[in-house]
Structure 1
Amino acid sequence: MAADRFATIGVVGGGAFGAALALAAARAGRRVILWARDGEAVAAMRARREVPRLPGAILPEAVEPAAELTALAAAQALILAVPTQSLRPVCTSLAQALPSGLPAISAAKGIEQKSGLFTTQIIAELWPGAVPAILSGPSFAVDIARGLPTALTLAASEPVLAQKLAEVLSSSSLRIYHSNDPRGVEIGGAAKNVLAIAAGIAIGLGYGESARAALVARGFSELRRFGEAFGAQSETLMGLSGLGDVVLSCASAQSRNFAYGLALGQGSTPAEAAGGKLAEGAFTAAILAEMARARGIETPIAEAVAAIIAGKIGVREAVAGLLARPIRSEN
C-alpha cells in the first residue's frame, strides 16, 4: 500500500513552513523526522516540543526533531522546506548523506538568481539520485500548523508517484491535489511572489483596491505568458499553485512578499523593507524578468519590480511608467 511505502517523511528545514508541514504530515498519519541546521533550536524542540518560529505550535510525538542529516536516512520521502537561494548547498549535503531513489519534494517558491533554474532542476543537478517533485499552493504556515482547511498541489514528472505522495500527505484539514506538471507549479509559485510585491507597493502608495485589482489581473496575464513559454499547462496556471496563490499572496499582509511591497510603497528602501525576513520575490524578480526578455515575453510589472528593488527607479516613477504604456488590446 502507498501508506506503507511512505510511513516516514523527512522534512528538511526547521523554519515556520517546515515545521508546519511536519505537523501536517503527522496529522496524515506519518512519522516525521524534522531536520534543522540549528542544533540549539533542535534541542529546544526536543525538550519543550515547541517550534521557535511558530508560536503556539506543539510538536506531537510522531515528529522527531534532528540536527544530523543521517537521521533522514529513515525517511522514504523528503520535503525540502528551505529557501530557493539556499537549496543548492542543502542538496549537495543530502546527496552525500542519503541513499539514491528518494523522492525530494521542494516546498520553495522561487527561481535561483544566479542560474535561472527552477527548484526541481536544482535538485536534479545537485542530487541526481533523487526523484524531484514540487509542493505549492495558497498557504500560510500558521494556517497549516493550526490545522485550518488548506489545499495544495503536488507535482512530479512521474504521475503515479505524485498521486501516491498526495494521498499519504493529505489529511482531513490538508487536501493535496496531484499533477504531472512540475514546471507549471513552480512558475506559479515563483511569479506570484513578484506580483505580491507589486500589489503591496500599490496599497502602500495608497492607490486603493481598484488599482490592486487591475495590477493583479494584468500581472496574472504576465504569469500566464511566462508560464506557457516555459511549457506550463494552462490548467496548472489557473489552479491552486497559480491563480490560487496569486489571490492569497496579493491580498494579505501575512504574505511576506506583499508586506515587503507594502513597505516599499510606504517609503522604505529595499533593504529596510525586508525587515530581516525573507521575501522570495525580491530575489526572483530580476531573474524572472531576464528570462522573459530572453524569450521575447513582455513582463512590464516584473520589470518594474526588479528595477525598484535594484534601486534603478522609484516606486512612483515605476507606476507612472506602467500607466504611460501605449493603449493596446487586453488580449
Structure 2
Amino acid sequence: MFVNTDQYTKYIRLWLITMIILIVSIVGVGGLTRLTDSGLSITAWELFSGIFPPFNIEKWNFYFDEYKKIPEYKILNFNMTLEEFKVIFYWEWGHRILARIIGLMSIIPLIIIFLRFKKNLFFEKKYYLVFLLVCFQGFIGWFMVSSGLVENTDVSHYRLASHLSIAFLILSLVFWFLLQNLEIKKNTQKINFFFLSVFLFFLIIQIILGAFLAGLDGGLIYNTWPDMNGQFIPSDIDKTDLIKISSSNDPTVIQFYHRFIAYIIILFLVTLNYFHYTKGIDFNNITVLNIAVAIQIILGIITLVTGVEIKYASIHQLGSILVLLSFLFIYYKNTN
C-alpha cells in the first residue's frame, strides 16, 4: 500500500491547476497578440536569449531595424514610429515570456515531486507528456512566426490554427488529468459514446475554423447576422466552392462554415439536453456547457457585427475554452 498518497495527490492537483491557469492566460495573450498584429515584431526565435526587453535605445533600434526587414513593415507599417513598435514588441515579448514560464512549470514541479515521492509512490509518467507537448508547441510557434518573415505580411493561417489547436490539446489533456486526480464520479446512466465523440469533433472543427478565420482576417467581411449581407450563401461563392480544398484559403467560405457549424453545435446541444432529461441525469452536469455555448454564440455575433472589435474577439476566443472544457467534463463523466 502506498504512503503519502494524499500529499502526492495534492501536489499533482496544485500543479495541474497552475498549468490550466497558465495555459488559459497564454491563449488570451496569444489572441491579443494576434489581434494587435504584434506576432511578427520579434523576428528571431531567441530560444535562450531575449528574456529581458531592451533597456537602451541601441537595443530598441536593433529590434526595430530587424522588423523593418520583413514584408509586414515594408508593405503595411512603413510609417510606424519606434514608440508604436514598442507596443507590438511588448505584446509578443510577453507572449514568449509566458511561454517560457509554462515550459519551466511543465517539468520542474514534476521533477521535484518525483524526487520527493520516488521511494514510496509510483510516479505516473503520463504527466511528462504535457512537457513534451509544450516543447513541441514552442517549435510550432516559431514555425508559425517564420511563415510571415519572408514573403507574406502575415503568418500562415494553417500554422496559426496548428499552434492554437496544440494549445487546446495541452489544455484538454491537463484538464483530463485533473478530473482523474479529483476522482470525479462517473455517470451511472451513460450517454451514447459515439454521439459525444461526434459532438466533440464538431467542437474541434469549430475551433480550427475560428483560427482560420482569424488568420485570414475573415471576420472583417460580412458583418451582418443571421444572413451574410442578405443571403445564406453569399453571392461571391457558389456551392462548388464549399467542397473545394482550395477554399480553405477563402475567408468567405471559412466564415460560412464557421456560422454553419455553430448551428450544428446548437442542435447537438439540444439533443444532449434531451438525453439528460430522458435518462434522468443530473442537469448540473450540463448547466455550465449550456451557459458557455449561449455566451459564446452571443459573443460571436457581437464580434462579427462590430467588425472584430478587439475586446469582444478576445473574450470570444477565451469563451471557446469554457465550451471545450465544460464539454470534456461531460465526456469524462460518460466514459467507463
TM-score by length of 1: 0.27
Higher relative contact order (CA 8 A, sep 6+): 2
Larger Cα-atom Rg: 2
More strand by share: 1
More helix by share: 2
TM-score by length of 2: 0.27
